[in-house]
Structure 1
Amino acid sequence: METTPGAFSLLLDAGTTRVDELVEELGHEPNGYFWEGVAQFLISTEAQTLEGRFSYDPEGDMFCAYGDDRSALEELATLMSSVATDGDRMRKLITSAEATGFEFDD
């Protein structure tokens, strides 16, 4: 969404996705901080070109990424949507992250 002219935010209400129960089963809390970790891991493994193109401001009940690069946020939205709606993809992401020593801040 465009919050002010030229400034954009990507929001996700934590606790409202199809994979929340799975995330909890895998030992994590599906809060805004967890989703920031998902975004960071996705960028580091699948979309390095997004690195540094926006900032994060999560809270317990919401994930937020923001900046002036609308296309970068739209690309992140596509990546995150694919994880938030697909249990197999989420399971693989968490397993891969933990195998590399990545820690979710949840």
Structure 2
Amino acid sequence: MDKDLLKQLTLWHNKNKYEKIINKIIEIPEADRDYDLVCHLARALNNQEKYNEAIHYFISVQEQGQHDPLWHYRLGYAYYYLEQYKEAVVAFGQAVALDPEFAAGSRFLEMSRNAAGRAGNETSPIVNVEKGIKIGNDTDLSEVNKKINPFGLVAHNNGSISMILSVGKYKHHIFQARAEEGFEGNGYDWGSLAAVFLEEKMPHLVDTVRFDPEADMFAAYTHNREAILSFAIAFKEACEDDALINDLFSRAELD
């Protein structure tokens, strides 16, 4: 792919200008679109919630994507939001197999397994190996998940619990208010906001709750169950109070 075009597509993605990405790539004759261009197109379609179209393009470069964890991850992302959880489990599982350190892939794999278990799909819900926690049957976690939607809680095999959010739409106006400073509403920006909230509103948890965001996902985690539950509920309540969350965000620093 042309370096200038790649730079432009990346800039548009960072600014959530997904329609510009789609229109630009569609202008290019299909025969001239390489693997990277097709993946950028499908990724932008994912972000526009056009998941079936995204899958079509991902499958069109399936042979080239077999050894690319990002290809599997983004395909799984489309399946997940279409609620095709069995297919999502397979895709995210392959992404993690190719890159065991792929944190976002691991989180979505566990979310897909949980969702598949709740939906009655033929796959086992995720189980915390060390403590035997099955999310679908854990009343506390299930109740908190209802309260903090669109955030979600995921239990991990190492005993930790994460609070996650696929960024892009929820409270995006908060970040737009400081767009000229470089804030885009990505996972890192959410991490900056959450850090201010934690420091000012729950300082006793500063050394307990940690943040591990990705560009497309906000994530907070800890091995302390009660800490993550109380943080999750309090942070979601803060997000619903526009005056409070805007005040906190005024002190957030660009990562």
Regarding TM over 0.5, the answer is: yes
Task: Name the aligned partner's letter for residue 103 of structure 1.
Answer: E
CA RMSD of aligned residues (A): 1.8
Kept in 2: contact 1:82–1:89 (CA 8 A): no
Sort the Cα spacing of 1:37 and 1:23 in 2 relative to 1 into closer, same or farther, 3 A.
same
What does residue 86 of structure 1 align with?
241
Consecutive aligned runs of 4 or more in structure 1 exceeding 6 Å deviation: none
What does residue 23 of structure 1 align with?
175
Sort the Cα spacing of 1:80 and 1:104 in 2 relative to 1 into closer, same or farther, 3 A.
farther
TM-score normalised by the chain length of structure 2: 0.36
Kept in 2: contact 1:32–1:61 (CA 8 A): yes
- 5+ residue gaps, structure 1: none
What does residue 104 of structure 1 align with?
254
Kept in 2: contact 1:12–1:63 (CA 8 A): yes
CA distance in 2, matches of 1:30, 1:86: 17
Q: Which has more strand, going by share of residues?
A: 1
Which shows bigger deviation, 1-10 or 40-49?
Answer: 1-10
Kept in 1: contact 2:175–2:185 (CA 8 A): yes
Q: Percent identity?
A: 26
- 5+ residue gaps, structure 2: 1-153
Equivalent of 2:214 in 54, 59, 75 = 59
Count of residues in correspondence between the two structures: 99
TM-score normalised by the chain length of structure 1: 0.79
Q: What secondary structure sits across from 1:4 in the alignment? A: coil
CA distance in 1, matches of 2:178, 2:238: 14
Kept in 1: contact 2:208–2:224 (CA 8 A): yes
CA distance in 1, matches of 2:174, 2:198: 22
CA distance in 1, matches of 2:245, 2:166: 17
What does residue 199 of structure 2 align with?
44
- Higher relative contact order, structure no. (Cα contacts within 8 Å, ≥ 6 residues apart): 1
Kept in 2: contact 1:39–1:76 (CA 8 A): no
Q: Which has more helix, going by share of residues?
A: 2
